[in-house]
């Protein structure tokens, strides 16, 4: 499961960590990539912006998911 910071109260600066089903982060990355070419952290920032800062993906979750997609050839989709 991916760990995300979400604005559901508690935690640091009013943010609590929420768990998302496995594969959710990969789907969000692919959806973001479908909007146009972006590099690495720009994809994570776009996810944060589109979710109105509800979803703030951590680098420790983002880059492994991005590398899994690259190994599967999905970065060319």
Indicate whether 42 belongs to any domain. Answer: yes
Q: How many domains does the chain have?
A: 1
**In this predicted structure, what is the pLDDT of residue 5?**
53
Q: In sequence order, what are the residues at sequence separation of 6 or more whose Cβ sits closer than 8 angstroms to the Cβ of residue 25?
A: 2, 4, 57, 61, 62, 65
More confident residue, 20 or 69: 69
Element (H, E) at 20: strand 16-20
For the beta carbon of residue 55, count every other beta carbon within 10 angstroms.
21
Structural domain boundaries enclosing 60: 25-77
Indicate whether 63 belongs to any domain. Answer: yes
Express each pLDDT in 13-62 by its tens digit. 556 677 778 889 999 999 999 988 888 889 999 999 998 888 888 889 89
Asked whether residue 39 is assigned to any structural domain, the reply reads yes
Tell me: pLDDT of 2 over 80. no
């Amino acid at each position: 499961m991916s760990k995300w910071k979400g604005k559901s109260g508690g935690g640091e600066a009013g943010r609590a960590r929420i768990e998302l089903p496995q594969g959710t982060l990969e789907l969000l990355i692919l959806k973001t990539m479908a909007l146009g070419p972006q590099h690495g952290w720009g994809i994570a920032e776009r996810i944060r912006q589109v979710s109105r800062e509800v979803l703030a993906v951590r680098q420790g979750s983002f880059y492994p998911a991005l590398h899994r997609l690259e190994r599967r050839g999905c970065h060319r989709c």
